Amino acid sequence: MPIPRPCRAELLRRHFSGSAVTRHGDVTRPEPGTGIKLNFKDAKGQLIKTIEANEGDDILSLAHEHDIDLEGACEGSVACSTCHVIISPEHYDLLPEPEDDENDMLDMAFGLTDTSRLGCQVRLTRDLDGITATLPAATRNMFVDGKKPTHH
């Protein structure tokens, strides 16, 4: 069953609450072996990491939780295209259709494909177990002396 995303009014309320850095939905990690499996791949198709998620977690929040280099400039309010990911086709078809505002942002995403989505709008359900989110080609992944970038 699709899980409703936060409505715009709620996002505005969050914005006006004046709270400091609020991440888009912080996530808690499930007990190992019990969660929904999500694979992150880089643009070349190499597996970055397989992680486990709870029902309802969104891909952007999961990427942040697991130090995957996926940006969320507007913090999940569907006002940018920085969290664009490419979904495995067999799982893409299981997702609810993107709404107009998500499509408006996908229009401007770099490297758009037929199975592109905004990571912030993809919430995991049990039937998505094994889903893959591939970072688009422009996403960079760079290390100096093997040091991974830290999230500020």
Partner 1 sequence: MPPIKLAIIGGGPSSFYVASRLLSLLPRDGAQSSALKVHVYDRLWAPHGLVRYGVAPDHPEVKNCTHKFDQAAQDPRFRFFGNVQVDTQSSSIVPNAMALPLSSLLPHYTHLLFSTGGSVPILHPALPPSDHVVRALSLVHWYTRHPSCPPAPPLDKISHITLIGQGNVSLDVARMLLTSPSVLEKYDVPESVLDVLRRSAVKHVSIVGRRGPLQAAFTVKELREMMNLGDASMVPLDPALLKPPSDAPLTRQQTRTLQLLQKGSANKPGTTAKTWSLDFFRSPTGLVPPAQLMLTHTMLDSAARAVPTGATSRLDTDLVATSLGYRSDPAQTFYDPALGHLRTASGRIIDAAGRVYRNVYASGWAAMGARGVLASTMMDAYAVADTILADHFPGRVETMAVSPAAPHEFVETQTHMLPEDADLESVPREVAEGIEEGRVVEYGQWKAVDAEEVRRGEVRGKERERMDWNEARAFLEARTSKHA
Query: Binding of partner 1 at residue 31 (CB under 8 A)?
Result: no
d(CA 76, CA 24): 6
Length of the chain: 152
d(CA 46, CA 55): 25
d(CA 91, CA 139): 22
* Per-position x/- string for 86-125, each x denoting binding to partner 1 as judged by CB under 8 A, each - no binding: --------------xx-xxx-xxxx-x-------------
* Per-position x/- string for 40-79, each x denoting binding to partner 1 as judged by CB under 8 A, each - no binding: --xxx--------------------------x-xxx-xxx
How many residues bind partner 1 (CB under 8 A)? The answer is 47
d(CA 88, CA 134): 8
Cα separation values, 69 from 47, 61, 66, 126, Å: 13, 11, 9, 25
C-beta closer to partner 1: residue 16 or 32? 16
Query: Binding of partner 1 at residue 3 (CB under 8 A)?
Result: no
Query: Binding of partner 1 at residue 126 (CB under 8 A)?
Result: no
Q: Which of 2, 13, 15, 50 lies at the binding interface for partner 1 (CB under 8 A)?
A: 15
Are 85 and 134 contacting, i.e. CB atoms less than 8 angstroms apart? yes
Q: Which residue has the tokens 């996002």?
A: 11
Residues of the shown chain interacting with partner 1 in the complex, contacts defined by CB under 8 A: 11-12, 15-16, 18, 20-22, 42-44, 71, 73-75, 77-82, 84, 100-101, 103-105, 107-110, 112, 137-147, 149-152
